[in-house]
Structure 1
Amino acid sequence: MAEAPRCRRVGILGYGQLGQFLAGRLLAGVPPWGWLWPSSGRGTGATGGAAPSLRLPDLRLLPQTEVDLVVEVAHPCVAREHGEDILAHADFMLGSPTALADPETERRLRGAAARGGHTLYVPRGALWGCEDIARMDEAGTLAALKVTMTKAPQSFRLEGWLQERLAAAVAAGGRAVLYEGPLRPLCPLAPNNVNTMAAAAVAAPRLGFDGVRACLVADPNVPDWHIVEVEVTSAGDEGRALRVTSTRRNPAAPGAVTGNATRDAFWSSLLACRGHGGCVQLC
């Protein structure tokens, strides 16, 4: 197992499946990591079996701690409500980058990172080819980016009218396209399911949440897999553009929101949070 950076004091917001996995890894590394903080505030998840000494009862107590990296694996409401305060005191790994689909939230968090000199980290999650996408976007050669996510119906946590569409798909049986279109409107409807798509929008800021295309598919024939297909198209003459398609098949427990391999990807992202200054950084 990779050794954790010895200078970090890490706090975790969210103690579900992913939060517990990261907590176990962190605790196994103590003393190099110092101490762990699963919070019990609104929207952050129950702390379950976490020792009381490791809990912070109120997020407003953050300045009194030695935490210098806060990892959110709960819900985008955490970033909307507390992100600026966190970035005033620590680096912030945003496990729910769907929060950035709200332009005002993105503006406030980027401003807070710049003012505080801390880094807003966005983990890549299940996004394959993240660096290549970012390089193409920076060079101005990325013309189109589409991400298709296919999961079993019970793995979705949807809101609004998308809940009704999922219910109809379940009743009909078989494979169903729940959504296809620009990413931004999808994020508030599937805040826990499309963070990989949100990472793609951060990797390709020239396209952003309005330019990245999203496709969400419910398929009962893949009960224990999460499938992510990324389609990249370069700028170029008609019929002569570079096209790359990757397909990632991630084993997942039936009904799980997060696939097995994504947990390890988050751990690798956490290890990469070594302080990059007042900016937004993919990790």
Structure 2
Amino acid sequence: MPEAPTKRRVGIAGFGTIGRKVGQALLAGMPGLSLAAISSGNRDRAAAALQAMGASLPVVDAAELPSHCDIIVECAPTDAFLAVAEPALQAGCTVITVSGAAILQHPHIVELAREHRGQIILATGALLGLDAVRAAAEGEIHSVTMVTRKPPKSLKKARYIVEQGIELEGISAPLRVFAGSAREGAEKFPANVNVAAALGLAGVGAERTQLEIWADPGLSRNTHFITVDADSARLELKIENVPTEENPGTGRITALSVITALRSLGAALRVGS
């Protein structure tokens, strides 16, 4: 009788809004995958969350995850990205992340993955149509623009907003808080523009991807308008993401996109490029 295939071990770095949702899905069962370890800045809270899910797993430092795991889901705070990604890629692991902005800020990790035969998978996150943008990039893309509009509560804690002293509380009309390239946006809003960063990485590059960010008191959802003009197609995409209750800056679909990326690793049928 043939032996059952060995399951690939998954670790989660960051056990907050996204990490807990991914953890629940893994514990519920995914073919070929098992949750093996957790890394968190608050070990006690992470252990308590695991216990509430009925699981008893190691909660370790980010640098220790590669010794427990083959695949690491990175959903830690932006400033912890390198502490998770570098040791994982040096160990030849697969890293799944939605942190497009962090990849733009630390491009050396791509070469690091190549050198050690690791892999970085930038999950779709909140971006509709990423497959189509990647396909268009195989030909010629003339221009890419993106306008992001978010409720003020989704932006008020953003680093750039705080540093510039931009007051969003009580505004009565839409306020443009940034205009420039996706790369500039990633530098100023590292935790808020992962959609724009992913768009830049998939298309013509972050420097040529134009971005505007608006605080709009008339909205209850994080909304993105994307226009791609290429020799193969013209794409006009509108995305309205329902914010999570725990963190208004994170859409509910973000964690679901990571779960889908995990399922795709061992799927007999994979839909989309």
TM-score band, normalised by shorter chain: 0.7 to 0.9
Does 2:209 correspond to 1:209? no
Provide, for residues 228-282 of structure 1, a one-character-per-residue CA deviation record: whole Å limited to 9, x for no partner.
11111125xxxxx95321111222246612222333222112223459xxxxxx9
Q: 1:187 & 1:234 partners in 2: Cα distance?
A: 24
CA 1:84–1:159 in 2, change beyond 3 Å: closer, same or farther?
A: same
Code of the residue aligned with 1:233 in structure 2: it is: D
SS in 2 for 1:168: coil
Q: Does the 8 A contact of 2:145 with 2:210 survive in 1?
A: yes
Residue by residue over 1:169-213, the C-alpha shift from the partner in whole angstroms, topping out at 9 and shown as x without a partner, is 435432111111111122132222111111111112xx2121111
3-state SS of the aligned residue for 2:173? coil
Query: Is 1:266 the equivalent of 2:253?
Result: no
Question: Residues 30 and 269 from structure 1, CA distance in 2 versus in 1: closer, same or farther, beyond 3 angstroms?
Answer: closer
Q: Give how far 1:14 is off.
A: 1.0
Give distance in 2, aligned partners of 1:150 and 1:86. Answer: 34
List runs of 5+ in structure 2 lacking aligned partners: none
Q: TM-score, normalised by structure 2?
A: 0.83
State the Cα RMSD in Å.
2.8
Gaps of 5+ in 1: 236-240, 276-281
CA contact (8 A) 1:45 1:74 kept: no
Alignment match, 2:240: 249
8 Å contact kept, 1:75–1:96: no
Q: 1:226 pairs with 207, 222, 228, which one? A: 222
Name 1:278's counterpart in structure 2: none
Q: Superposition pairs for residues 85-164 of structure 1, below 5 Å?
A: 85-89=87-91, 90-102=93-105, 105-107=106-108, 109-139=109-139, 141-156=140-155, 157-160=157-160, 162-163=161-162
| Alpha-carbon distance between aligned partners in 1 of 2:171 and 2:239, rounded to the nearest angstrom | 27
Report the CA distance shift for 1:21/1:62 in structure 2 as closer, same or farther (over 3 A): closer
Q: CA deviation at 1:222?
A: 1.3
| Distance change in 2, residues 1:45/1:149 (3 Å) | farther
> d(CA) in 1 for partners of 2:118 and 2:146?
30
1:45-60 matched pairs, under 5 angstroms: 46-47=45-46, 48-51=48-51, 53-60=56-63
Separation in structure 1 between the aligned mates of residue 98 and residue 244 of structure 2, nearest angstrom: 20
| C-alpha separation in 2, matches of 1:248 and 1:175 | 18
Counterparts of 1:45 and 1:258, CA distance in 2: 23
1:62 maps onto 2:65 in alignment: yes
> Contact 2:62–2:83 at 8 Å: present in 1 too?
no
Pairwise mapping of residues 6-45 of structure 1 onto structure 2 (< 5 A)?
7-29=7-29, 32-41=32-41
Paired with 1:110 and 1:262, the residues of 2 have a C-alpha distance of: 22
Count the aligned residue pairs.
258
Contact kept in structure 1, 2:37 and 2:60, CA below 8 Å: no
Shift of 1:98: 0.7
TM-score by length of 1: 0.81
Give identity over the alignment, percent.
23
Deviations 1:130-151 (A, max 9, x none): 1111121122x10111122211
- SS of 1:257's equivalent in the other structure is coil
- Equivalent residue of 2:27, what SS? helix
Tell me the distance in 1 between the aligned counterparts of 2:211 and 2:134: 18
